[in-house]
Amino acid sequence: MKIVLIGQPNSGKSTIFNWIGGYKSATANFPGTTVNFTTAKARISGWQVELVDLPGIYSLTATDAATTAALNYLLETANPESNNGTSTEILVNIVDASRLSRALELTLQLLELGRPLVLCLNMMDEARRRGLRIDIPKLASMLGVPIVATVASKGQGVIELMQKVRQAARPPNSITPPPLLPPIQQAVANIAQSLDGELGVLEKPIGSMKFPGRFLILKLIENDPTFVALAKQALPQNCAEKLLAETSQQRRLIQTSTGRAAEIMVAEDRADRSKRIFQNCTEVGRPEFGWRDRLDDILMHPVWGYVWLALILYIFFNIIFKIGAMLEPELLGWFGKSNSYILSRLGENTFGATVLSGILQGLGAGVGIVLPYLVPFLLGMAFLEDVGYLPRVAFLMDGLMQRIGLHGTSVFPAILGYGCSVPAVMATRILRSPRDRFIAAMLAIMAPCSARTTVILGLVAFYLSPNAALAIYGLNIVIIALAGKVLAKIWPEITPGLVMEIPPYRVPATKLLLAKTWWRLKEFIVLAWPMLIAGSIVLSVAEAWQLDHKINAVLRPLTSILGLPSAVGTTLIFGVMRKELSLMMLMHALGTTDVTTAMTPVQIGVFTLFVVFYIPCLATITVLWKEIGKQRTILAIALTLILAVGISLLGRFVPWILGLH
Amino acid sequence: MSKPHHTRPLLELPQRLPARITRILDGPEVWQHLHAIGVHPGDCIEVLRKAPFGGPIHIRCSGQDIALGRNLAMKILVEPQN
Report whether pLDDT(A373) > 80. no
Average pLDDT over residues A334-347: 76
Residue A303's pLDDT is what?
Answer: 92
Are A581 and A614 spatial neighbours (Cβ–Cβ below 8 Å)?
no
Q: Burial of A633 by CB count in 10 Å (0-12 exposed, 13-18 middle, 19+ buried)?
A: buried
Q: What is the pLDDT of residues A109-168, one digit of tens each?
A: 888 887 888 999 998 888 887 778 899 999 988 888 899 999 987 788 888 888 888 887
In the stretch 9-48 of chain B, residues with CB closer than 8 A to chain A read 28-38, 40, 48
Q: What band does A607 get if pLDDT is binned at 50, 70 and 90?
A: very high
Rounded CA separation A411/A313 (Å)? 14
Are A88 and A187 spatial neighbours (Cβ–Cβ below 8 Å)?
no
Q: What is the pLDDT of residues A422-456, one digit of tens each?
A: 767 876 766 767 888 899 899 989 999 878 888 89
| Choice among A85-89, A229-233, A630-634 with the minimum mean pLDDT | A85-89
Across chain A, what does the average pLDDT equal?
81
CA-nearest residue of chain B to A396?
Answer: B51
Residue A47's pLDDT is what?
Answer: 77
Report whether pLDDT(A416) > 80. no
Q: Which residues are CB-neighbours of A264 under 8 A, at least 6 positions away?
A: B28, B31
Which is more confidently placed, A130 or A220? Answer: A220
Query: With an 8 Å Cβ cutoff, is B2 touching chain A?
Result: no
Residue A34's pLDDT is what?
Answer: 47
Question: Are A400 and B55 in contact (CB < 8 Å)?
Answer: yes
Contacts of B70 in chain A (CB under 8 A): 497
Contacts of A105 in chain B (CB under 8 A): 38
Cross-chain CB nearest to B67 (options A63, A132, A498): A498
Q: What band does A179 get if pLDDT is binned at 50, 70 and 90?
A: confident
Q: Phi and psi dihedrals of A328, rounded to 5?
A: -55, -55
Residue A27's pLDDT is what?
Answer: 44
Rounded CA separation B79/B82 (Å)? 10
Rounded CA separation A328/A499 (Å)? 43
Report whether pLDDT(A544) > 90. no
In the stretch 112-141 of chain A, residues with CB closer than 8 A to chain B read 130, 132
Report whether pLDDT(A2) > 80. yes
Which is more confidently placed, A312 or A661? Answer: A312
Q: Phi and psi dihedrals of A53, rounded to 5?
A: -105, 105
Residue A472's pLDDT is what?
Answer: 92
Residue A661's pLDDT is what?
Answer: 52
**Percentage of residues in chain A having pLDDT higher than 70:** 86
Residue A557's pLDDT is what?
Answer: 92
| Choice among A137-151, A239-253, A451-465, A498-512 with the minimum mean pLDDT | A498-512
**Percentage of residues in chain A having pLDDT higher than 90:** 13
Residue B28's pLDDT is what?
Answer: 67
Question: Are A267 and B38 in contact (CB < 8 Å)?
Answer: no
Residue A149's pLDDT is what?
Answer: 93
Helix (H, G, I), strand (E, B) or coil at A254: helix
Q: What band does A92 get if pLDDT is binned at 50, 70 and 90?
A: very high
Residue A28's pLDDT is what?
Answer: 44
Average pLDDT over residues A613-637: 85
Q: What band does A594 get if pLDDT is binned at 50, 70 and 90?
A: confident
Average pLDDT over residues A64-76: 78
Helix (H) or strand (E) holding B61: strand B57-61
Report whether pLDDT(A44) > 80. no
Give me the residues paired with residue A156 across strands.
Answer: A151
Complex ipTM: 0.90
Mean pLDDT comparison of A34-43, A587-596, A603-612, highest-scoring range: A603-612
Residue B3's pLDDT is what?
Answer: 43
Mutate to test the interface with A, among B21, B37, B71 (most CBs of A within 10 A): B37
Q: What band does A102 get if pLDDT is binned at 50, 70 and 90?
A: confident
